[in-house]
Amino acid sequence: MTLLEKTTASPDTLTEDRSMAIRESLRNAIIDRRLAPGTKLSEAEVGALFDVSRTVARAALQMLTFEGLVKTERNRGAFVSNPTPDEARQIFASRRLIEPGIVAAAAERIMPEDIARFREQLVEEERYMNERGPAARRAEIKASGDFHLMLASVAGNAILQRFMDELVARSSLVIALYGRSGVSSCGHSEHFAILDLIERGDAKRAADLMLHHIDHIEADLDLQPKQGVALKDALAIT
Top-ranked range on mean pLDDT: pick from 127-131, 173-177, 216-220: 216-220
Confidence of residue 227 (pLDDT cuts 50, 70, 90): low
Q: Environment class of residue 226 by beta-carbon count within 10 Å: exposed (0-12), middle (13-18) or buried (19+)?
A: exposed
Q: How far apart are CA 26 and CA 18, in angstroms?
A: 12
78-97: average pLDDT: 94
Out of 3.40.50.300, 1.20.120.10, 1.10.10.10, 3.90.1640.30, which CATH number does the structure's domain 3-80 have? Answer: 1.10.10.10
Looking at residue 60, its pLDDT comes to 95
Q: DSSP letter for 8, please.
A: S
| Cβ neighbours of 75 (radius 10 Å) | 4
Q: Which residues contact 217 (CB under 8 A, 6 or more apart)?
A: 92, 171, 175, 184, 185, 186, 187
Confidence of residue 234 (pLDDT cuts 50, 70, 90): very low
**Which residue ranges make up each domain of the chain?**
3-80, 85-219
**How confident is the model over 108-151, as pLDDT tens digits?**
999 999 999 999 999 998 888 787 777 777 777 788 889 999 99
SS3 4: helix
Long-range CB contacts for residues 84-90, cutoff 8 Å, separation at least 24: 85/178, 85/223, 85/224, 85/225, 87/174, 88/174, 88/177, 88/178, 88/218, 88/221, 88/223, 89/218, 89/223
Q: How many Å from the N-terminal Cα to the C-terminal Cα in the chain?
A: 59
Q: What class is the 85-219 domain? A: mainly alpha
Buried-exposed string 124-158: b where 16+ CB fall within 10 A, e elsewhere? ebeebeeeeeeeebbbbbbbbbebbbbbbbbbebe
Looking at residue 96, its pLDDT comes to 97
**How confident is the model over 18-73, as pLDDT tens digits?**
999 999 899 888 876 788 888 999 999 999 999 999 999 999 999 999 888 999 99
Does residue 228 register a pLDDT over 60? no
Q: Contact at 8 Å (CB) between 52 and 44?
A: no
